[in-house]
Chains A and B, each alone.
Chain A
Amino acid sequence: MDYNLLIGGSAGQGIDTLVTLLEKVLQRSSYYLFSNKDYMSRVRGGHNFSQIRFGTKTVHGHKNALDVIVAFDEKTVTEHLPRLKKGGKVVLDHSLKEDVKIPEGQSIYLPLKEGAKDLGNPKVFSVVLLGALINALDLDLKIGKKVIENTFEDKILEVNHKALIKGFEMDLESWNLEKPENTDQRIKINSNQGIALGALAAGVTLYSAYPMTPSTSIMDFLAANQKKAKIVVEQAEDEIAAINLAIGASYAGIRAMTGTSGGGFSLMTEALGLAAITETPLVVANVQRPGPATGFPTRTEQSDLSFILTASHGEIPRMVTSIRTGEEAFYKTANAFNLSEKYQTLVILLNDQYLADANQTIKPYDFSKVSIERHIAEEKDLPEGDYQRYRFTEEGISPRIIPGKIPGKTLLADSDEHNENGNITESAEMRIKMMDKRMKKLKALEKEVEEPWFMGTDNPEILLVGWGSTYGTLRETVEILQEEGHSIGALSFGDVYPLPKKTLEEKTKGAKKVINVEQNYTGQLAKLIRQETGITFDHSILKYDGRQIALEELIESVKEVL
């Protein structure tokens, strides 16, 4: 069973309240869900919607065909009716009856406004609606009540409680949905929250950032928990300050991280080089949105990959990893801290608006799987005499100490090219040695990166290649096309740089058609692959309208090039 419900209206009407509550009820009813948000860069008005896709098996992404439209306004109906399945339903308030045209038998008008008004609080509209939907979806009213109790307090709780009952008693006809069998406990989380939780597990002690959609929810979550976690979440005066602050904190021995989007990342680029040349461990999250400049602030794109691979002047080592699911957001972030300290290097996490705002039900994170590996040198590991921050060693990584911890030992970090002591040098010979030392980290990182996930027919004739947030849709596309008898597979890259090549080379060898699927104009992963391996693509499926490719769209696009 796989059910797709859209809730839409203008900003400020209460759609988020309904979405949050309904998602929670579905989650606690053991449904698997994946929901995504489409919203405009405004606080009131406009047209926003969420799609909640839920079912009795894992749901990996969003799709277009709708079973139900819950419309807070006329625009939601006109905008999305073409996507409503035959036999699908539109649920809306009585008052909209005059304004909309919905095919016979598909509309369900309810006295929602009236109901809320009767209760003396028009704001409970969303909860009246929730009550009605709980009934129609055959969900347990008790779960609904519990969710309301967890959300509201005192008088507000009382009136919402009544609103829930009022909606429930509107007694909608049941939509006869299949019940989930697997009742394992799951969490519902988005990937930005997964990143934040992963950072907390890894012992992040400072998070500095400047608010920027769609990255802000990382900071929101950390800030909401800063007191309990006893960490510093600092809103910097700008992104330049945010990253330099994190670098200073990391130099002084705590785990620090910064996160941003688009333009904020552009401002940080000089400091990426600073982290690299001073060999300071640093984790940076870039939650992509369409650029250039201000672009589409609240929409999605995968267009920062090419930029991030070379961001900063000069040449620096870095690891770039993209997030494919809410589940791996957690583990990847925690691991990023370990790798950044092991190799004293920069690790960039690439996420995007689609996945950052997508709630997914997943297996709870296993905190016992997270380890904290600091790689900090102690006095006994150091040779006699003055400490050299950039000492040449056999393994290529210089022992790193924390300032203030070893009497008699001081360290100097420098943004200029420097010698082993960290002092400025203009020596050609030293320059070569230091460049070699830093860039050699890429070789070491090649051994750390994870191969892309492969899905589908073992040696497929058609091979789709994507990265990051398209994973779920690639996976479902392959499953459906396989069922239709196609020899098809997909590679979904998480770690993108250094590029893991083994699986890619294996799978592309036998494939007749290799197609890259990306949310950008220039096919940035394909470019990277061509650059690193010489492998070229036969077709590209590229989308750069700020909206994530839906299941049906991808299937259709693949069929066009078969």
Chain B
Amino acid sequence: MDQKNIFDCSEEKAWCPGCGNHGLLEGIKQTLQELGKEPHEVVVASGIGQAAKLPHYINANGFNGLHGRSIPPALGIKIANRELTVIIHSGDGDSYGEGGNHFLHNVRRNVDISHFVHDNQIYGLTKGQASPTTRQGHVTGIQTEGVHLQPFNPIATAISLGCGFVARTFMGDKEHMVETMKAAVNHRGYALVDIFQPCVVFNKINTFKWYKDHVYKLEEDYDPTDKIAAFQKSLEFDDGIPIGIIYKEEKPAFLDTIEFLKDEKPLVDRDLDPKNAEMFMDEFY
């Protein structure tokens, strides 16, 4: 075990032994420590699901909201105080299924938050139903004849929507995961990181070994600023899944696009005075 991390938290974890979430939690703590963050400067937001329990197990501010609704509160938090580092940890069901609409529109909004999706291609909390990323043909207790729906491709979707930071990593490669997480947190804008993790109980197909055998690191000379190449990469899956920063583009983050707030102090630090609003009554005379 590494030396003590200031983000460590003594709360007992309700995850199964061997669950990929454990490694992911260690990864994010290491990431934040190495980035020199302090617990009070960080907010970890989540929805509902196994992954979404993460705010309970890290010594930072947390907002554990509703299923599918991890992003909107995170957006609100960032708007209120742009000095906070806002990170979302939620699962593939929460992020792409129940919360799909928020995912689409917050990529467009480009708010400066990192969204770490614990992608185990299955529903864990509700015991083994298909998630949006479950592959076709995968048999579950509900999808008894195998999944009919085409899998959701978060990487291709994010690139097509103009996401400025799109990455994929695997919790089984801690160094890769931490480096990817760091780059995401440092990115100014919405950063999506789809993180493969096994569900040891409910996904017997996409196991730790399966991921280990299927992922490959992007080539050294891969250029993540080439959108067309990135899109091509995003389509690779069955014959090897690329991990790393697949697409990157600098663009103004949401709060930087609001001209009149650009040079303001964080909204939360504003002094409020009713008298300041009196001028807005003028038009009614």
Please give the residue numbers on chain A whose beta carbons come within 8 Å of chain B beta carbons, in ascending order. 185, 187-189, 193, 197, 200-203, 205-206, 208, 225-232, 234, 236-238, 240-256, 270-271, 274, 278, 334, 364-365, 367-368, 370-372, 374, 402-416, 421-424
Stretch at the interface among B69-77, B149-157, B186-194, B195-203: B69-77
Are A364 and B281 in contact, CB atoms less than 8 angstroms apart? yes
Are A371 and B274 in contact, CB atoms less than 8 angstroms apart? yes
Given contacts A248-B72, A410-B39, are A402 and B65 in contact (CB under 8 A)?
Answer: no
**6 A-B pairs, CB-CB below 8 angstroms?**
A187-B284, A237-B102, A249-B76, A251-B76, A254-B268, A274-B69
Given contacts A229-B280, A415-B66, are A403 and B260 in contact (CB under 8 A)?
Answer: no
Judged by DSSP, the binding face of B is helix
Are A406 and B40 in contact, CB atoms less than 8 angstroms apart? yes
Given contacts A248-B63, A252-B43, A423-B56, are A188 and B274 in contact (CB under 8 A)?
Answer: no
12 additional contacts (CB under 8 A) given A248-B76, A278-B65, A423-B11: A193-B284, A197-B280, A200-B277, A232-B267, A248-B75, A249-B79, A274-B65, A364-B284, A372-B272, A403-B77, A415-B66, A423-B56
Are B73 and A248 in contact, CB atoms less than 8 angstroms apart? yes
Kindly report which residue of chain B lies nearest to residue A236, judged by CB atoms.
B72
Q: Would you give the shortest CB distance from B21 to chain A, in whole angstroms?
A: 14
Given contacts A240-B72, A410-B61, A423-B11, are A372 and B274 in contact (CB under 8 A)?
Answer: yes
Are A424 and B101 in contact, CB atoms less than 8 angstroms apart? no
- Residues on B with C-beta less than 8 A from A193 are 284
State A203–B73 Cα separation when bound (angstroms): 20
- Residues on A with C-beta less than 8 A from B159 are none
- B side interface size, CB within 8 A: 56
Q: Would you give the shortest CB distance from A133 to chain B, in whole angstroms?
A: 21
State A411–B62 Cα separation when bound (angstroms): 6
Asked if B83 is an interface residue, CB under 8 A from chain A, the answer is yes
- Residues on B with C-beta less than 8 A from A403 are 40, 43, 61, 77, 81, 84
Q: Would you give the shortest CB distance from A340 to chain B, in whole angstroms?
A: 14
Kindly report which residue of chain A lies nearest to residue B45, judged by CB atoms.
A248
Kindly report which residue of chain B lies nearest to residue A243, judged by CB atoms.
B72
Are A247 and B260 in contact, CB atoms less than 8 angstroms apart? no
Given contacts A248-B76, A270-B66, are A404 and B83 in contact (CB under 8 A)?
Answer: yes
State A368–B43 Cα separation when bound (angstroms): 36
Q: Would you give the shortest CB distance from A276 to chain B, in whole angstroms?
A: 12
Are A232 and B79 in contact, CB atoms less than 8 angstroms apart? yes
Q: Would you give the shortest CB distance from A201 to chain B, in whole angstroms?
A: 4
Are B284 and A203 in contact, CB atoms less than 8 angstroms apart? no
Are B40 and A410 in contact, CB atoms less than 8 angstroms apart? yes
Of the candidates A205, A237, A252, A402, the one having the most CB atoms from chain B within 10 angstroms of its own CB is A252
Are A416 and B64 in contact, CB atoms less than 8 angstroms apart? yes
- Residues on A with C-beta less than 8 A from B261 are 230, 232
Q: Would you give the shortest CB distance from A382 to chain B, in whole angstroms?
A: 13
Q: Would you give the shortest CB distance from A224 to chain B, in whole angstroms?
A: 9
- Residues on B with C-beta less than 8 A from A409 are 40
Are B274 and A404 in contact, CB atoms less than 8 angstroms apart? no
Kindly report which residue of chain A lies nearest to residue B261, judged by CB atoms.
A230
State A413–B39 Cα separation when bound (angstroms): 15
State A411–B267 Cα separation when bound (angstroms): 19
Are A251 and B72 in contact, CB atoms less than 8 angstroms apart? no
State A228–B280 Cα separation when bound (angstroms): 9
Given contacts A251-B76, A423-B56, are A413 and B101 in contact (CB under 8 A)?
Answer: no
- Residues on B with C-beta less than 8 A from A421 are 11
Of the candidates A254, A271, A374, the one having the most CB atoms from chain B within 10 angstroms of its own CB is A254
Interface residues of B in 247-271 (CB under 8 A from A): 258, 260-261, 264, 267-268, 270
Q: Would you give the shortest CB distance from A43 to chain B, in whole angstroms?
A: 25
Are A206 and B76 in contact, CB atoms less than 8 angstroms apart? yes
Asked if B229 is an interface residue, CB under 8 A from chain A, the answer is no
Are B40 and A407 in contact, CB atoms less than 8 angstroms apart? yes
Are A251 and B77 in contact, CB atoms less than 8 angstroms apart? yes
Given contacts A229-B277, A404-B41, A424-B14, are A240 and B69 in contact (CB under 8 A)?
Answer: yes
State A413–B69 Cα separation when bound (angstroms): 14
Are B264 and A230 in contact, CB atoms less than 8 angstroms apart? yes
State A407–B270 Cα separation when bound (angstroms): 19
State A416–B268 Cα separation when bound (angstroms): 27
Are B284 and A188 in contact, CB atoms less than 8 angstroms apart? yes
Are B104 and A189 in contact, CB atoms less than 8 angstroms apart? no
Asked if B273 is an interface residue, CB under 8 A from chain A, the answer is yes
Q: Would you give the shortest CB distance from B45 to chain A, in whole angstroms?
A: 7
- Residues on B with C-beta less than 8 A from A208 are 76
- Residues on B with C-beta less than 8 A from A406 are 40
Given contacts A189-B284, A232-B79, A422-B62, are A253 and B277 in contact (CB under 8 A)?
Answer: no
Are A412 and B80 in contact, CB atoms less than 8 angstroms apart? no
Asked if B217 is an interface residue, CB under 8 A from chain A, the answer is no
Given contacts A251-B77, A365-B281, are A372 and B260 in contact (CB under 8 A)?
Answer: no
Q: Would you give the shortest CB distance from A183 to chain B, in whole angstroms?
A: 13
State A208–B66 Cα separation when bound (angstroms): 18
- Residues on A with C-beta less than 8 A from B62 are 410-414, 422
Are A206 and B60 in contact, CB atoms less than 8 angstroms apart? no
Are A271 and B101 in contact, CB atoms less than 8 angstroms apart? no
Kindly report which residue of chain A lies nearest to residue B44, judged by CB atoms.
A412
Are B274 and A408 in contact, CB atoms less than 8 angstroms apart? no
Given contacts A244-B73, A247-B73, A252-B43, are A334 and B274 in contact (CB under 8 A)?
Answer: yes
State A378–B98 Cα separation when bound (angstroms): 37
